[in-house]
Amino acid sequence: MPRARATRPSPPELEVHPLTPARFADLERLFGPRGACAGCWCMWWRVPRAEWQAGKGEGNRRALEAYVAAGKLAGLLAYDGDAPVGWVAVEPRSAYPRLARSRNLAPVDARPVWSITCFFVARSHRGRGVTRALVEAAAAHARAQGAPALEAYPVATTARLGDALLYTGAASTFEALGFEEVARRSPTRPVMRRELGAVSPGAPATRGRARARSTRRSSPTRPSGGRRGR
């Protein structure tokens, strides 16, 4: 008797919201006790290596919490119902000092681009298009704040890598969503960029529902308007 083919879970309906102090507990719930990975708490690109190393775990968690409490929008959270299932760090490139010091990811030009530096998706939702939905939400968010372009620093390789090594995303994902390579100073670390249409700075960011598409599809996920979050 032929073996039944496993069914792939349907892509979830997501709501994506900026991370605010009121939502920080949801980020803690998503990241878990390891702070997403190795006690990082998404502080790697923000502080010098020695400071990051000294803060691994609780120190980095407190640093990110204080950053958010000060009114900084460090990124976006994706929800499937009430459950936080995905995170993307997206801010002006200047918010990530370690990019400027990176030999491979140093600025390509002087444009005030925004940057995607990190993803984290709940294990239950990996391979279901959450990353693509977060990229589209990040683009809408950056565009609404007046960003001329959005950069990403993914990994370009045909080798199978663990999720921890793909925290900046895969180059193939960004290419499918309209990003183009603008620099490559390392064989596996391109700088990719997507131009964003002009919009008045300070316009409302996208905070709404997004249909997460399966990663097997090539068409991008575009968030549409929905309920505003806290």
One-letter amino acid of 38: A
Sequence-ordered list of residues with C-beta below 8 angstroms from that of 138, at least 6 positions apart, any chain: 75, 76, 88, 90, 114, 116, 150
Cβ(119)–Cβ(86) under 8 Å? yes
Residue 204's pLDDT is: 40
Residue 226's pLDDT is: 34
Model-wide pTM > 0.75:
yes
Alpha-carbon span 130 to 14, nearest angstrom: 8
* Buried residues in 16-44 as b, exposed as e (16+ CB within 10 A): bbbbbeebbebbbebbeeebbbebbbbbb
Residue 197's pLDDT is: 81
State the DSSP code for 6. Answer: P
User: pLDDT tens digits, residue range 164-221?
Assistant: 668 899 999 999 999 999 999 999 999 999 999 854 444 444 455 655 543 333 233 3
Residue 218's pLDDT is: 29
Which residues of the chain register pLDDT less than 50? 1-2, 4-7, 199-206, 213-230
Helix (H, G, I), strand (E, B) or coil at 174: helix
Answer positive or negative: Cα dihedral of 138, 119, 35, 188: negative
Burial class (CB in 10 A: 0-12, 13-18, 19+), 222: middle
Residue 45's pLDDT is: 95
Domains plus CATH for the chain? 13-216 (3.40.630.30)
